[in-house]
Each structure stands twice: as C-alpha cells, then as structure tokens.
Structure 1
Amino acid sequence: MSSIEKLAMFLNILAHHEKNRSVKVDYIRSGWSGCLGALDGTYISIRVEAIYKPRYRTRKGDIATNVLGVCDRNLNFIYVLPGWEGSAVDGRVLQDAIVRRNGLKVPQGDYYLCDGGYTNGNGFLSPYRG
C-alpha cells in the first residue's frame, strides 16, 4: 500500500471513526467561543530499512510514521503533517507544525481541542487530568 493510500485511510478514519471523535465533535459543535476545531495524531504502519527502525518504532513496538491531523468545526481537514518518526511524541510533532513557514496558525484568543497527549498552552486546550 502506498503512503498516499495510507494517508487517505487515516483521514477517513479520523473523519468517520466514532471512537476517535465523539467527545471532540460534541465540544466543537457546541458553539464554544474561540474553538477553531480539534487536532490529534495517529500512527501509520510503514516499512523502513533496518538501520532506521529504532527511529520509527512506537511505544508499542510497531514501525510507523506519526501523522498530525487538524479539523475545523465542521470536521473538515485544514492541516495535515505527515512524515514524523513513530518515536516522536505528539507534542514535538505539533511544535514542528506551529513553527513551519506555512504551518498551523492559531489566531490570538482562539484554540484547538486536543487529547491528553498534548499539553495546555496558548491556542491548545487538552482535557483536565484529575
């Protein structure tokens, strides 16, 4: 399966898989002022040469690439950042998306909803743990 096909499958899963989006959809559609949408990362299995496997090995031992997807309030994808090694943590991938020249932009006072793999900060709201 090509990388393009895997990316298309990822986008389809994020757009339609209830487990990944049910809570976020409720919040996004609730009309919260300043909420631009939601973001999350996922792993896509890949094959790499043996010398690169440690970089692409996830916490669960799979060989994968880490892909960040960002949806607007209507659940349309507005930003996708593929290509990070599976060993990269979600926060590092998000940081790269923010600092890129044509990267993810968050207007002052607005925010995206995130899961527990991200930390709260300007423009990003993750669930309270506790």
Structure 2
Amino acid sequence: MQGRVGAPAFLENWITKVTKPVAAGSCTFQITFDWDESIGIPGAFIVKNLHHNEFFLKTLTLDDVPGKGRIHFFCNSWVYPAERYKSDRIFFANQAYLPSNTPEPLRKYREEELVNLRGDGTGELKEWDRVYDYAC
C-alpha cells in the first residue's frame, strides 16, 4: 500500500515575477494545487527542480486543508536540478512517527528515503549527494 500522489503543480510566475525578499536572500512563491479529497491529508510532497540552478527550500505551508487546517513542512534543504538526483526529492510533514506507527501510505516513501540517505558506499560523493557516509 503506497500513498497516492496528486497532480503536479508548478511555481507561479517564477521567471516573470520580481519577488520582494521576506528576509535577506529569501523569497516567497505561490503554488496552486488541484485538491482531490480522496487522496487524504498530505503527509509528504515531492519536489522536482526543473530549473538549471539549485535553490534552498526552507518551508512549505498548505493552508485550508480539509479536516486539518494548516500543514507545515520544515524542509531546510538544497534542491538541485532533477538530473543530478537518482530519485525525486521528498519532504515529509512536520510529524514524527516511530517506525511502527508510521502511516501505511508513507512507509514506502520513508524506506526509500532512508536507502537514498545511506548510500551504497561506492563512488565519489558530489555536493548534491545527500548521503551520510563515513570513512572508517
């Protein structure tokens, strides 16, 4: 049982809009999602950076989620262009779970994310590799 993935959504007016900084070096962008209530309450979201530059994603907030209100995702991570990653970037909602209490639709995604973070111990790590690999 794997969680359902909604339709892709894109940053609005990324190139044509001059944004006002929220804080030094920070900007806010809007994304409009087509909501299908049968998907349920979002526990994670997937990011593909189709731009040629990386960006630092601080947070994502979903407002007016039916039955939940506001869902906040603390990301604090660089997102590099999609061609540099072996798999899509996924960010989970700010909700901690013990492994045995993780909702079934999120388990596969959490397991895949752990495999990506562990790496395979081979090859040279690059700046965009999010592997926690230690030399012995």
Q: TM-score range by the shorter chain?
A: 0.3 to 0.5
TM-score where L is the length of structure 1: 0.36
Structure with more of its chain in strand, by fraction:
1
Which structure's CA Rg is the greater one?
A: 2
Structure with more of its chain in helix, by fraction:
1
TM-score where L is the length of structure 2: 0.35
